[in-house]
Chain A
Amino acid sequence: MPELRDLYQEVILEHSKAPRNYKEPAGTNQRAEGYNPLCGDRFTVYLAIDGDRIREIGFQGAGCAISKASASMMTQSVKGKTKAEAHAIFEQFHELVTGHSHAHEAELGKLAVFSGVSEFPVRVKCATLAWHTLEAALEGKQEKVSTE
């Protein structure tokens, strides 16, 4: 049976209460908005891109603890990374939260706390909303990203 504590780990709760990089950073030159119509979660991800590198990243919005913590920890993990590196982290993260593979837990570092999400399939969209929004921002897409 899935355990609540596997989902709501201390680190996740802490990030949801005090999200990091919760702002529009100076020098933002790309942004995207993500929306989950099922639960009303809504985030904007801001990027200050320097060449191929994410120099600064921030986010703002409203959502559940999982989506907010995921957004917060995402900003920490991709800051300073190249577009390709950020994309690769998302792929590993996606494998983890969908339960397809736990092979990259070590590489994911702190993000591995989201492994419990795979026991709660309806919450996968919460954990990935900010990431999909990041992808859209990286690609410079104009339309709003929806999880539906």
Chain B
Amino acid sequence: MSVAAAVSLRERIAKPLVDVGFDVEKIRADFPILRTKVHGHPLVYLDNAATSQKPQSMIDALVRYYEGENANIHRGVHYLSQIATEAFENARETVRAFVNAADTKEIIFTRGTTEAINLVAQTYGRVHVGAGDEVLITAMEHHSDIVPWQMLCEEKGAKLRVAPMNDEGELLLEDFEKLLGARTKIVAVSHVSNALGTINPLKQMIALAHAKGIPVVVDGAQAVPHLKVDVQDLDADFYAFSGHKMYGPTGIGLLYGKAALLEAMPPYQGGGDMISSVTFEKTIYNKLPHKFEAGTPDMAGVAGLKAAIGYMNAIGIAKIAAHEHDLLEYATEVVGSLPGVRLIGTAREKASVLSFVLDEVHPHDIGTILDQEGIAVRTGHHCAQPVMERFGIPATVRASFAVYNTRSEVDALVRGIRKVHEVFA
């Protein structure tokens, strides 16, 4: 590093904490698990891209549901069933407002992002993709946005095309545009890359696809916890995300879909709740959104998700984003300037994720040593093996941030990496 660069680095590091408008220590107190000690050290939880921790208000909502509201929805005339149904449909409105969908019927509860993407592939996809057609994805997709399309292409004799990225982990927009062809029937793209943190120019990509009449399915699992998402402003056709990465419970996720598309799609699974009448000769499917919600849904999960969104709204997504951006910038500086560290994913637009490798030390060894210091990071391929292959590495270490993380936790990560150097010296 040059002297000038070192000076400017010091200046930037010395810069006072960004005033994000909330007290991080107060936020931390909302998350009981953050009091955990790991191997004698305070837990430093930097694996938020895998799953976030949960605030007490969300945990309380789950308990409250089972203690006071539990009954099956949409079918009982009794008191509790009515309470549960009302709470469930209120939560749908909370989700609608959160992503600014036009109508609650466009909000479908699923088990998670993976199920939401599979739903689109198996319904819209099976109707519209035929032999010789193409599905276009990007080089930075998570396995959950690769495999469902691969399965569809295999079944239909269609071709999976992949839009490339540059060495920084940024999508090459010109190549993306060129790949949008006459046979392209679906574009599937992540809003934010889970392995690299890249924020894709989604609005632009959607406009390019729409100019050729191609609908776009968005994997928003890594975006919704960190950015304000407005599905109408993006003009996304489908947008999938998970509750557990945004302070909500596991097992609940969302699919947003434009009403006109959803109306025309066949159902995904058959069963109760998705029908309006059944005879052995013919079944009339229920109207939206219930057509896509067969069986008893995860009602407790929905209650928890509503509480999680309430928690995020109370802080303000813009403030959460500003705080995480400050942490990411700080971590990029201090971790990136450690000897032997190579950052993987250095896009100009990034959210929450710092992926890196260390010369001569395998990520798995780094993960074990950091764990001994109480630091939880993810090591491995992050369910994005093609991304690892693109960068010619077997795995990375990934630190990912949430609202409750602090600069002193980034400092702990730096001390942990120094410890790795000591062990392997």
Binding site for B on A (CB under 8 A): 1-2, 4, 7-8, 13, 17, 38-42, 62-66, 120, 122-123, 126
Contact = CB atoms under 8 A, between A and B. Distances in A.
Interface string B337-373: 0000000000000000000000011111100110010
A7 B368 contact: yes
A123 B423 CA distance: 17
Interface string B360-394: 11111100110010000001110001001000001
Nearest to A122: B368
Given A4-B369, A4-B423, A13-B424, A39 B364 contact: yes
A64 B372 contact: no
Given A17-B360, A65-B365, 7 more contacts: A2-B39, A4-B369, A39-B363, A39-B394, A40-B380, A40-B385, A64-B362
B262 to A, nearest CB: 36
B368 A120 contact: yes
Interface of B: 39-40, 360-365, 368-369, 372, 379-381, 385, 388, 394-395, 423-424
B380 A38 contact: yes
A64 B424 contact: no
Nearest to A8: B423
Contact of B380 (A13, A39, A62): A39
A134 B368 CA distance: 26
A64 B369 CA distance: 12
A64 B39 contact: no
A63 B362 CA distance: 7
A63 B361 CA distance: 9
A38 B380 CA distance: 6
A66 B364 CA distance: 9
Contacts of B39: 1-2
B311 to A, nearest CB: 32
Contacts of B372: 2, 4
Nearest to B39: A1
Nearest to A3: B372
6 contacts: A1-B39, A8-B424, A13-B423, A40-B385, A64-B363, A123-B368
A18 B40 CA distance: 34
Contacts of A1: 39-40
Closest 6 CB pairs of A and B: A40-B394, A64-B362, A64-B364, A39-B364, A40-B395, A65-B365
Contacts of A65: 361-362, 365, 424
Contacts of A17: 360
A64 B365 contact: yes
A8 to B, nearest CB: 5
